[in-house]
Amino acid sequence: MNTKFFAIVIAVVALFCPSLKAQTKPVENALLWEVSGKGLSKPSYIYGTFHIMCNDAFSIPQNLKAAINKASRVTFEVDLSDSTYMTQIKQSMVSAVPMSKKLTSQQFNSLDSVLTLKLSYSLKQLDKLSIQAISSLLALKVLPCAETKSYEAELLKLAKEQNKTIGGLETVKFQMECYTKAYSDQYMFNQTLHMDNMATDLDTMMAMYNKQDINGLYNYTTDNAHTEPQTEKWLLQTRNTNWAELMPTLMQKESNVFAVGSAHLAGKTGIITLLRAQGYTVKPLYK
């Protein structure tokens, strides 16, 4: 288990996540945003990440480096510098009920065949992992590239080099609880059996991301993802609302760079819209 594996977990779940269908007006297409006004002594910044990216397409833009230089704190979705982080990740990857007891005999054999073919592991060897963790392991095999990088891992490294304070907007436990509530095991099981379909989707989404087309990403996931009734509530609405309530307190104390998945930026209940509704000036900063 490591930071890259956690990024894969997030990427897998994010790919299955549709953005909210109701949106009054598209926000501007940009990955980096400046937040000012409403009594802030210094601006803060929001950067939309792509949790796992092919190495040849990865770069940290100069305007983001400049923002980190100006800020005193880098805040991720979860606190990646927490000494208990890896322990929490390991705990979150374990299922309370083994796969052999969750799945029917036919389902177990079907998933076992996929794992044996793609990973050279049997499901019996991975029996204690959650279906989300198993999906993430398979996702490593369908990414359209051999070498990958995680924005979170690279930004964490940069923040540490500059001795920035590092924090998170939610706990690993809460984040994983949201993912578990967002998708049923049956849904994740079905997606896992058709993991190869993700390769084209990821390639398309990475191209949109590199064009800073956050509205395109928003629309693409909406048009192409199949979801369940509870998905948007737990994956986007609940978390975005919580973040938008916490961010003002953090920004009043010091200048932050908030690094969160780009799917959280656009939409009617996206971070940009929620902060603007509170009276903050949130403007795009282009490359």
DSSP state letters, 63-104: HHHHHHHH-SEEEESS-TT-TTHHHHHHHHHB-SS-HHHHS-
What CA–CA distance (Å, rounded) separates 220 from 199? 14
Give rounded-to-5 percent helix, strand, coil for the chain: 55, 15, 35
- Average predicted confidence (pLDDT) for the chain: 86
Could you identify the residue written with the tokens 């398309």? Answer: 204
pLDDT over 70, % of the chain:
89
Contact 54, 145 (CB under 8 A): yes
pLDDT over threshold 80, residue 278: yes
Contact 45, 32 (CB under 8 A): yes
Residue 80 banded pLDDT, cuts 50, 70, 90: very high
What CA–CA distance (Å, rounded) separates 143 from 162? 32
Q: The tokens of 208 are what?
A: 């949109």
pTM for the full predicted model: 0.87
What CA–CA distance (Å, rounded) separates 43 from 282? 10
State the sign of the Cα–Cα–Cα–Cα dihedral 66, 67, 72, 77.
negative
Q: The tokens of 214 are what?
A: 């956050």
Q: Tell which wins on pLDDT, 168 or 189.
A: 168
Q: What is the pLDDT of residue 19?
A: 40
287-to-104, 253, 257, 259 alpha-carbon distances in Å: 51, 27, 16, 17
Q: What is the pLDDT of residue 151?
A: 93
Q: What is the pLDDT of residue 79?
A: 96
Residue 12 banded pLDDT, cuts 50, 70, 90: low
Grouping H, G, I as helix, E, B as strand and the rest as coil, residue 256 is: strand
Contact 252, 4 (CB under 8 A): no
Segment 5-23 shows an average pLDDT of 49
Residue 22 banded pLDDT, cuts 50, 70, 90: very low
Q: What is the pLDDT of residue 53?
A: 82
Residue 10 banded pLDDT, cuts 50, 70, 90: low
